[in-house]
Chains A and B, each alone.
Chain A
Amino acid sequence: MRVIRDTYGWIDERFAVTPLLEKNVTKKMVPRTLSWAGCFGGLAFFTFLVQVFTGMLLLMYYKPHPEAAWDSVTFIKSNVTMGWLVQRIHAVAANLMIALVLMHMARIAYYKIYRKPRELHWMSGVFLLLLTTMMAFTGYLLPWTQLSYWGAKVGTEIPSAIPIIGQDVVEWVRRGKAISGETLGFFFSLHIWILPAVMSAFMGLHFVMIRRTGISRPL
């Protein structure tokens, strides 16, 4: 304990961490009337972090190839110690994240928090919802099961409703006419790098905005 306190003191003396922590965490003032419903956004972010870390672990064994994907996921679930737990946490956190994001949005909409000066919070939030659903959709294909395959097939069919370019969009998303190894590779790259990177950037903006305008003060 003394070692920890001394190490902290050494760092604190040089970088003045304590005033920073007090200002942003321990002595940060929030509106007295703020209810526990104000936690949904933060909890959604927490589930995101859980998925980032469990995702890193799953990536150690996952193989994004149509002949190896299902086997590698089965390997994680049955051969890797605690693999079943890590895989389950990743999938359950994904479901929870969607639910929490929707609850967060419902609260913002109900209290009309999206009004000036917080319009951009809402807009970036809507974009984040879209990214979250895309994360869920691309992740669903990766285990390469029957459910994944047909889920991806039905999901990628949706853009065909767009007039004129619809069919081209479907083929672009599928990387061909049908769901194939190309689709798997594309969804994999979206799921582990492209979408999380874009999402992190938008989350950063989303959080900076809240710090600038402050939390909405209920009546």
Chain B
Amino acid sequence: MSDHHEHEHDVACEPLTCGRRRFCQAAIGGATAITVGTVVYPIVAFLKLPVRLGDAKPVEVPLERLVPGQAYYADFQGQQVIVVMAEAGPKVFDAACTHLGCNVVWDTAHSNFHCPCHGAVFSGEGKVVSGPVSTPLREVPFEVKNGVLVIS
């Protein structure tokens, strides 16, 4: 029995039966592929990163709330951003330190940013002052509409 089973693929057949066999194999293979596809496709689609409605929400800060020399902290798409009022106008920085990504803190007394993790210091313009960093803080683009600062 098992001997017959092993040589099944080698059995020579009439052209007619060979065609039938190929057709049946293709039909079964195709049906199996469709069945597997209808199971696999929804699963793969489900695992895809979904669109969270909150992600698109812009951050709005009224300009009168900004005090020169002080910082305003906000959450933009799950990442902290810091708004500082400079003499030339407001600036927005990504709070992630360019060293290893800790959130930097605004130091009002020295008018600079200080990272609590490894002591990096950035100036009020985001430039490197000291510490284990070489890249300035990332500036976040924004626009001012009717006296409201909008980050989107």
Measuring CB to CB, which residues of chain A are less than 8 angstroms from any residue of chain B? 57, 60-61, 75, 79-83, 85-86
With both chains docked as a complex, state the minimum distance between the C-beta of B112 and any C-beta of chain A, in angstroms.
39
Partner of A57, one of B41, B43, B53: B43
Contacts A61-B50, A81-B50, A83-B46 supplied; 4 other A-B pairs, CB < 8 Å: A57-B47, A79-B52, A81-B45, A81-B46
Q: Which chain A residues border B53 with CB–CB below 8 Å?
A: 79
26 A–B contacts from the bound complex (CB under 8 Å): A57-B43, A57-B46, A57-B47, A60-B47, A61-B50, A75-B50, A79-B50, A79-B51, A79-B52, A79-B53, A80-B46, A80-B50, A81-B45, A81-B46, A81-B48, A81-B50, A82-B41, A82-B42, A82-B43, A82-B45, A82-B46, A83-B46, A83-B50, A85-B42, A86-B42, A86-B46
Question: Given the complex of chains A and B, what is the CA–CA distance between A208 and B151 in angstroms?
Answer: 63
Chain B 27-62: CB-based contact to A (< 8 A → 1; otherwise 0): 000000000000001110111101111000000000
Question: Given the complex of chains A and B, what is the CA–CA distance between A82 and B45 in angstroms?
Answer: 6
Is chain A's binding surface mostly helix, strand, loop or mixed? loop
* B43, B48, B52: residue with the most chain A Cβ atoms closer than 10 Å: B43
9 shortest interchain CB distances as A-B pairs: A82-B42, A81-B45, A82-B45, A80-B50, A82-B46, A79-B50, A81-B48, A57-B46, A85-B42
Q: Which chain A residues border B45 with CB–CB below 8 Å?
A: 81-82
Q: Which chain B residues border A75 with CB–CB below 8 Å?
A: 50
With both chains docked as a complex, state the minimum distance between the C-beta of B114 and any C-beta of chain A, in angstroms.
35
With both chains docked as a complex, state the minimum distance between the C-beta of A133 and any C-beta of chain B, in angstroms.
28
Q: Which chain B residues border A79 with CB–CB below 8 Å?
A: 50-53
Question: Given the complex of chains A and B, what is the CA–CA distance between A79 and B46 in angstroms?
Answer: 10
Q: Which chain A residues border B50 with CB–CB below 8 Å?
A: 61, 75, 79-81, 83
Q: Which chain A residues border B52 with CB–CB below 8 Å?
A: 79
With both chains docked as a complex, state the minimum distance between the C-beta of B139 and any C-beta of chain A, in angstroms.
32
With both chains docked as a complex, state the minimum distance between the C-beta of A210 and any C-beta of chain B, in angstroms.
26
A83 (CB) vs chain B CBs: closest residue: B46
> Which B residues between 44 and 82 are near A, CB-CB below 8 angstroms?
45-48, 50-53
With both chains docked as a complex, state the minimum distance between the C-beta of A163 and any C-beta of chain B, in angstroms.
48
* B42, B48, B51, B52: residue with the most chain A Cβ atoms closer than 10 Å: B42
With both chains docked as a complex, state the minimum distance between the C-beta of B118 and any C-beta of chain A, in angstroms.
35
